[in-house]
């Protein structure tokens, strides 16, 4: 399946992806209107350590431990390989947040459910917005063996 | 005491648009932007801004712009703000003013005073989308002697040639003045385009030997990085006698830019200033030049063309005649608008002559002396568009070097601060954090796009003139007409005034 991959060599640590992710989730067309004065809750986060930067988001693991650990059946892996979360089923136990080895599942802003990257299949973008706006092609969306 | 100098440009932030994402802050190596946690707002210190537009381009809400400051001293047609500020700066520091990239002064641009012909009725125009349109060409000596072997078959006596699929090459820009990633972008683009890039005087990084067949290596007065493998790796060797941006002076790459890799490539100690002398200390005459030309030919077994590059100066035509007689295969002329990674401001802005005039005069002189076919002519020093390429070729050039345009394609915004080594676009810097901002996967594609686009435009313009081969355009000055030029300028350019028929 096509996944989002981040090439650490080219990640500048500009954090644009975080804002583009949060913007994509709003469904609005004006970023200033969507994000001005608001705290953002991106599903991709940039880890910074000195001169090393690395954007992290869901790997859509083949054998996803978050899916296995979900007590309410809210997390599932679709036929397309995308690991999705059904907010209506999620009881907010946050076990998935605990078990994800990448820290790629996080509590949703309301605190009652978890949220994660669904490759922008859950918003109007259709294709990952972080990839489309990465200024250095550090984030790519591609099929890898 | 230092006199405070008001910045020339100011950062303007539209606070309605700014979402305080701090991308501008993270992307500015000059520390212009900062976040004020007390107000929750971004601030900008314009005194640090070099106007490179990195923040403007990356701001996701387009909340930023850079404007020319309207702060002014008393208006004075003789002492403008910049002139006054330069005096203050020198009085503050006691130093020589440094600048980068090409001469920005409002001298005439002769490219913009020449118009191109088109066919009407007779000699109809050609549609390059439907008919062949040849932009391939060869650079080198054309004066092959007819010789036969003992069996009477023709011997190949043609001197080595460079084959170009497009009439555009990337100018000499050294590794050191530009980054590893910029070099990789140029090398890969040259390979894909079927043309050449030029190492400049900084040697050839070991990783780039594999692009050798698309590489012109330079031998300059500092002889940095010149050794057997370097010469053997290349498609051609260029002797750099001068550079358009700074005729008459050498180079000075500050020690801070001599990283371990640059040091190894240049074969000089790390962290020590790399100084290229103004002259080649072994060249004080055409005869001396001839010795170096033939040394290099000998070293490369007469398999590679040798280029001699000079800055466009007052006596360019006579010098070119000497170069043509020195055994060189190609003459490269660099106009006074050509770029540089660092030059004294006074030299950059006041020395040299326009490439258009130098080219016209060199071509004319070589023709008069019957030695035009002894050499090909390459020109650079502000070839800004495909139209400039067409005009240059019609004036007599074989092909054009582009440097500034290539850097623009890589993201350069002509802030002319290369000499600070803090290029926010990852081009003119050796700081790893900045160098990584130029991903060669992106950079090389942008270069390929640029040259491909120009080549399409060149074909369209040639087609309009009813010419279907770039070789038929070369030196075809009847295809040019001058506008807004004096009689002297027309005479020097060898063209007629607009409206004048044959």
Give CA separation, A140 vs A10, A42, A130, B387, B412, in Å: 11, 17, 9, 37, 24
- Residue-wise pLDDT for A23-40, tens only, equals 999 999 999 999 999 999
Asked if residues B221 and B309 have their Cβ atoms less than 8 Å apart, the reply is: no
Q: pLDDT at position A130, please? A: 97
Residues of A in Cβ contact (< 8 Å) with B58: 14, 16, 135
* pLDDT exceeds cutoff 90 at A69: yes
- Kindly state the average pLDDT of the residues A97-108: 95
| Dihedral class, residue B177 (left if φ above 0, else alpha if ψ from -120 to 50, else beta) | alpha
Strand, helix or coil for residue B387: helix
Determine, yes or no, domain membership for A28.
yes
Q: pLDDT at position B305, please? A: 98
Name the residue among B486, B393, B374, B424 with its Cα closest to residue B31: B424
A86-95 contacts at long range (C-beta below 8 A, 24 or more positions apart): A87/A113, A87/A115, A90/A114, A95/A69, A95/A70, A95/A71
* Domain B9-95 CATH assignment equals 3.30.70.20: yes
Weakest mean pLDDT among A74-88, B248-262, B340-354, B377-391? B248-262
- Kindly state the average pLDDT of the residues B121-145: 93
Q: How far is A30 from chain B (nearest CA, A)?
A: 8
| In chain B, domain spans | 9-95, 114-136+166-180+194-406
Determine, yes or no, domain membership for A95.
yes
Q: Which two tokens stand for residue B211?
A: 């692009």
E strand intervals along A9-138? 45-49, 52-56, 75-77, 83-85, 105-107, 114-116
Q: How far is B31 from chain A (nearest CA, A)?
A: 14
CA-to-CA distance for A6 and A10, rounded, in angstroms? 8
Q: Please give the residue range of the domain that contains residue A13.
A: 1-57+127-145
* Closest Cβ–Cβ partner in A13, A14, A35 for B58: A14
Cβ contact B58–A135 (<8 Å): yes
Q: pLDDT at position A80, please? A: 92
Residues of A in Cβ contact (< 8 Å) with B438: 136
Q: pLDDT at position A51, please? A: 86
Q: pLDDT at position B252, please? A: 83
- Kindly state the average pLDDT of the residues B153-164: 95
> What is the domain count for chain A?
2
Give the A:B interface size as CB pairs under 8 Å. Answer: 57
Q: Are residues A44 and A19 in the same domain?
A: yes
- In this prediction, the answer to ipTM > 0.95 reads no
Residues of A in Cβ contact (< 8 Å) with B16: 32, 36
Q: Are residues A65 and A79 in the same domain?
A: yes
Strand, helix or coil for residue B170: strand
- Which CATH number belongs to the domain containing residue A138 in this structure? 3.30.70
Q: pLDDT at position B302, please? A: 96
* pLDDT exceeds cutoff 90 at A127: no
* Closest Cβ–Cβ partner in A16, A137, A138 for B60: A16
Considering only CB atoms, which residues of chain A are within 8 Å of chain B?
A: 9-10, 12-16, 18-20, 23, 31-32, 35-37, 51, 133, 135-138
Gyration radius of chain B's alpha carbons: 24
**What value does the mean pLDDT of chain B take?**
96
Determine, yes or no, domain membership for A122.
no
Residues of B in Cβ contact (< 8 Å) with A137: 439, 441-442
Q: pLDDT at position B257, please? A: 83
- Residue-wise pLDDT for B3-62, tens only, equals 999 999 999 999 999 999 999 999 999 999 999 999 999 999 999 999 999 999 999 999
CA-to-CA distance for A102 and A42, rounded, in angstroms? 15
- Residue-wise pLDDT for B325-345, tens only, equals 999 999 999 999 999 999 999
- Kindly state the average pLDDT of the residues A114-122: 94
Residues of B in Cβ contact (< 8 Å) with A138: 439
**Percent of chain B surpassing pLDDT 70:** 100
Q: pLDDT at position B253, please? A: 85
| CATH class of the domain comprising B114-136+166-180+194-406 | alpha beta
Q: pLDDT at position B282, please? A: 94
Work out the pLDDT band at B86, boundaries 50, 70, 90: very high
Determine, yes or no, domain membership for A121.
no
Q: Are residues A110 and A139 in the same domain?
A: no
Q: pLDDT at position B103, please? A: 96
- Kindly state the average pLDDT of the residues B193-197: 98
Q: pLDDT at position B144, please? A: 85
* pLDDT exceeds cutoff 90 at A124: no
Q: Are residues A31 and A80 in the same domain?
A: no
Q: pLDDT at position A126, please? A: 82
**Percent of chain B surpassing pLDDT 90:** 95
| Nearest-by-CA chain A residue for B19 | A36
* pLDDT exceeds cutoff 90 at A137: yes
- Residue-wise pLDDT for B165-181, tens only, equals 999 999 999 999 999 99
Q: How far is B460 from chain A (nearest CA, A)?
A: 33
* pLDDT exceeds cutoff 90 at B471: yes
What one-character-per-residue DSSP string does B313-332 give?
-TTHHHHHHHHHHTT-SEEE
* pLDDT exceeds cutoff 90 at B98: yes
Residues of A in Cβ contact (< 8 Å) with B441: 137
Mutate which of B19, B42, B56 to disrupt the A interface (most A C-beta within 10 Å)?
A: B19
């Amino acid at each position: 399946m096509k996944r989002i991959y981040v090439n650490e060599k080219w990640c500048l640590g500009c954090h644009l992806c975080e804002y583009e992710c949060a913007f994509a989730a709003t469904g609005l067309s004006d970023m200033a209107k969507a994000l001005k004065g608001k705290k953002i809750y991106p599903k991709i986060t940039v880890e910074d350590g000195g001169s090393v930067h690395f954007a992290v988001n869901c790997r859509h693991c083949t054998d996803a431990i978050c899916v296995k650990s979900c007590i309410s059946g809210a997390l599932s892996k679709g036929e397309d390989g995308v690991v999705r979360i059904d907010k209506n089923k999620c009881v907010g136990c946050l076990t998935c947040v605990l078990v994800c080895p990448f820290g790629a599942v996080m509590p949703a802003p309301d605190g009652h459910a978890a949220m994660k990257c669904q490759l922008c299949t859950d918003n109007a973008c259709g294709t990952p917005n972080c990839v489309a706006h990465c200024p250095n092609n550090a984030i790519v969306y591609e099929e890898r063996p | 005491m230092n006199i405070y100098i008001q910045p020339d440009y100011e950062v303007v932030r539209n606070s309605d648009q700014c979402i305080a994402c701090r991308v501008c802050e993270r992307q500015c190596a000059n520390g212009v932007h900062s976040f004020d946690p007390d107000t929750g707002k971004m601030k900008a210190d314009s005194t640090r801004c070099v106007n490179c537009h990195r923040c403007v381009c990356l701001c996701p809400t387009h909340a930023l712009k850079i404007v020319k400051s309207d702060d002014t001293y008393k208006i004075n047609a003789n002492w403008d703000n910049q002139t006054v500020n330069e005096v203050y700066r020198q009085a503050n520091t006691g130093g020589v003013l440094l600048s980068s990239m090409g001469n920005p002064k409002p001298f005439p641009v002769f490219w913009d005073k020449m118009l191109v012909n088109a066919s009407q009725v007779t000699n109809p125009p050609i549609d390059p989308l439907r008919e062949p349109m040849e932009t391939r060409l060869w650079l080198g000596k054309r004066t092959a002697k007819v010789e036969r072997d003992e069996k009477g078959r023709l011997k190949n006596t043609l001197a080595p040639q460079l084959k170009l699929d497009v009439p555009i090459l990337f100018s000499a820009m050294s590794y050191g003045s530009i980054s590893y990633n910029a070099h990789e972008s140029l090398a890969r683009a040259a390979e894909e385009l079927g043309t050449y890039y030029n190492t400049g005087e900084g040697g050839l990084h070991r990783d780039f030997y594999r692009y050798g067949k698309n590489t012109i290596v330079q031998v300059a007065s500092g002889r940095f990085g010149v050794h057997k493998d370097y010469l053997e790796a290349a498609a051609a060797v260029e002797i750099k006698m001068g550079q358009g941006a700074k005729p008459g002076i050498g180079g000075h790459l500050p020690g801070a830019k001599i990283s371990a890799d640059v040091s190894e490539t240049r074969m000089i100690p790390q962290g020590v200033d790399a100084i290229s002398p103004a002259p080649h200390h072994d060249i004080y005459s055409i005869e001396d030049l001839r010795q170096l030309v033939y040394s290099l030919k000998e070293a490369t077994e007469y398999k590679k063309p040798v280029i001699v590059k000079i800055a466009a100066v007052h006596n360019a035509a006579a010098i070119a005649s000497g170069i043509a007689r020195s055994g060189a295969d190609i003459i490269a002329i660099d106009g006074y608008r050509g770029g540089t990674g660092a030059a004294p401001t006074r030299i950059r802005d006041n020395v040299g002559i326009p490439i258009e005039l130098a080219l016209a005069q060199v071509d004319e002189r070589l023709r008069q002396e019957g030695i035009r076919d002894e050499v090909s002519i390459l020109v650079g020093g502000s070839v800004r568009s495909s139209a400039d390429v067409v005009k240059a070729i019609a004036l007599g050039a074989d092909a054009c070097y582009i440097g500034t345009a290539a850097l623009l394609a890589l993201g350069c915004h002509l802030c002319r601060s290369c000499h600070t080594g803090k290029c926010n676009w990852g081009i003119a810097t050796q700081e790893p954090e900045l160098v990584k901002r130029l991903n060669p996967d992106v950079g090389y594609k942008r270069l390929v796009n640029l040259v491909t686009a120009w080549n399409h435009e060149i074909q369209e313009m040639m087609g309009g003139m009813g010419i279907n081969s770039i070789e038929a355009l070369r030196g075809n000055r009847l295809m040019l007409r001058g506008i807004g030029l004096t009689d002297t300028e027309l005479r020097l350019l060898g063209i007629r005034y607009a409206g004048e028929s044959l």
